[in-house]
Amino acid sequence: MTERYELNKNLAQMLKGGVIMDVVNAREAEIAQKAGAVAVMALERVPSDIRKMGGVARMSDPKMIKEIQGAVSIPVMAKVRIGHFAEAQVLEALNIDYIDESEVLTPADEEFHIEKHSFKVPFVCGAKNLGEALRRIGEGASMIRTKGEAGTGNVVEAVRHMRTVTADIRKVQSASRQELMTIAKEYGAPYDLISYVHENGKLPVINFAAGGIATPADAALMMQLGCDGVFVGSGIFKSSDPAKRAQAIVKATAYFNDPLIVAEVSEELGTAMDSLDVRELSGNSLLASRGW
Amino acid sequence: MKKIGVLSLQGAVSEHIDKLGNFEGIQPCAVKYKHEIEAVDALIIPGGESTAIGKLLSDFDLSGIIKSRILAGMPVWGTCAGMVILAKKIRNDERRHLEVMDIEVMRNGYGRQIDSFSTSVRLTEISQGEIPLVFIRAPYVVGADSKVKVLLRINENIVACRQDNMLATSFHPELTEDLSFHRYFAGMCG
């Protein structure tokens, strides 16, 4: 465990209980910071637009990332395509605070994810289950998020992924030591990380919810399911009143176990983003199936 | 039994609670309501994002009660973002939060995450042993009133200081195995 990796895990700890918001320009970044976001994710198109417009979705224009870095004091994150280590090198050169190796962008490598230990800047990666989370951590991710199904405004997949990770952790924790290598083989996860989960009953890094969170109650739901914080992508700036919704989601995340506060902040938010029923999406439009 | 609250709006709350759990006679708890803040003997404002914590403090109308309790002598310790929350002046931000401590801080003084670092020092006032220090996008103090006692400087910058019942550190003792700063703060709580 290098010192740099520890510092990167530590930054994720500082984001706990907070909301990370997708933004496409400096103006949105300022709105997000003012609303109480703990970080912003800089990208050219939010996931719902990536779905609509199609084509190859890539890392953002470095100029736009620099403008956002200049506009806010909170950490600035940005996405790279799965396996695209050259895009990650570019973001590292820009001193980005966190890289999201993300299934929301079009994968650049269908076999290999980025070897993340060779970077100084931290990485967050998506996962649908414990094995996938531990593979990414094995490659050097210092933070995990559920994949959910980005750009749908439908929280069902994020719930499924969080519940799956929790159930997998419970299984590993209650297994006997003799079973751990077989579990590591079944899950396709590094043995030492399975062993860590067995002893500690949790992931070795912070785990956020992402992919489909659109309302304050969605955020409260994911926090009560045990997430450490939430990412909101299209949910804020594709709604009718972004500033108000952003503040409401921040408050609901902080007071996730207080239904009276969640009720109060949910009043008169205007319309949520246009949403999609995940069951109606065909196989290749499911973003969560990208990466392994 | 002394009750030490950790302000639980956003940030590294459980880490402080775990550390405080090591001391006899200390009952740690997470606090985010007025009645909870009224019931504690001391308060820790943890690391996180000062803009987010500050916004929630004002939205939920908690600044007044915390400020009046601090001014009445309640021991308080701000780590990293907590230092920014306590400061009267912030050099590179127009926001102000509790404005109780006579220090001027520089937010993200060391730069971005790539500039985060760890080191260790000897500081006999706090502990006999070597103390590990972790700085995550940390602030530091650029100016302090004579009422403020400087506990530690790294290069030119003040990274730990105390003014009567108020303690501020740029770094995060809750992220290390070392208990000396938590022991020091428990001592401030009598």
- Provide, as residue numbers in chain A, all residues whose Cβ is less than 8 Å from the Cβ of B111: 95
pLDDT at B141 over 70: yes
| A13·B12 Cβ contact <8 A | yes
| B13·A16 Cβ contact <8 A | yes
Predicted TM-score (pTM) of the model is 0.96
Sequence-separated (6 or more) residues with CB below 8 Å from residue A167: none
| A75·B12 Cβ contact <8 A | no
Distance, CA of B32 to CA of B17 (rounded, Å): 14
- Provide, as residue numbers in chain B, all residues whose Cβ is less than 8 Å from the Cβ of A17: 8-11, 13, 48
* β-bridge mates for residue A144, sequence order: A125, A207
Alpha-carbon distance B59 to nearest alpha carbon in chain A (angstroms): 9
- Considering only the beta carbons, identify the residue of A14, A121, A250 that sits closest to B48: A14
Which pLDDT score, from 0 to 100, does residue A110 have?
Answer: 94
pLDDT in tens, A16-45: 999 999 999 999 999 999 999 999 999 988
Q: Is B118 within any annotated ligand binding site?
A: no
Alpha-carbon distance A285 to nearest alpha carbon in chain B (angstroms): 34
* β-bridge mates for residue B87, sequence order: B101
| B113·A98 Cβ contact <8 A | yes
CB distance A38 to B52 below 8 Å:
yes
pLDDT at A275 over 90: no
Q: What is the ipTM of this complex?
A: 0.96
Q: List the structure tokens of B62.
A: 């908690």
pLDDT at A287 over 90: no
Listed range (A16-20, A92-96, A158-162, A274-278) with the worst mean pLDDT: A274-278
Average per-residue pLDDT for chain A: 95
Which pLDDT score, from 0 to 100, does residue A51 have?
Answer: 84
- Minimum CA–CA partner of A8 in chain B: B113
B2-188 folds as Rossmann fold (3.40.50)
Distance, CA of B179 to CA of B174 (rounded, Å): 8
Q: Is B122 within any annotated ligand binding site?
A: no
Distance, CA of B117 to CA of B106 (rounded, Å): 17
DSSP A288: G
- Minimum CA–CA partner of B112 in chain A: A97
pLDDT at A281 over 90: no
Sequence-separated (6 or more) residues with CB below 8 Å from residue B55: A34, A35, A36, A250
Pick the CATH number of A3-163+201-269 from 3.40.190.10, 3.20.20.70, 3.40.1350.10, 1.10.10.10: 3.20.20.70
- pLDDT tier at B108, thresholds 50, 70, 90: very high
Q: Is B50 within any annotated ligand binding site?
A: yes
CA B39 → CA A142, B32, B42, B43, distances in Å?
37, 11, 9, 10
Phi, psi of A208 (to 5 degrees): -100, 160
Sequence-separated (6 or more) residues with CB below 8 Å from residue A267: none
- Considering only the beta carbons, identify the residue of B48, B52, B172 that sits closest to A250: B52
Catalytic residue numbers of A read 79
pLDDT in tens, A183-239: 999 999 999 999 999 999 999 999 999 999 999 999 999 999 999 999 998 889 988
pLDDT at A1 over 80: no
Which pLDDT score, from 0 to 100, does residue A276 have?
Answer: 78
Helix (H, G, I), strand (E, B) or coil at A163: helix
Sequence-separated (6 or more) residues with CB below 8 Å from residue A260: none
CB distance B62 to B90 below 8 Å:
no
Top-confidence range, A51-60, A278-287, B65-74: B65-74
| A14·B12 Cβ contact <8 A | yes
- Considering only the beta carbons, identify the residue of B10, B51, B117 that sits closest to A254: B10
Q: Would residue B29 show up in a list of annotated catalytic residues for this protein?
A: no
DSSP A177: G
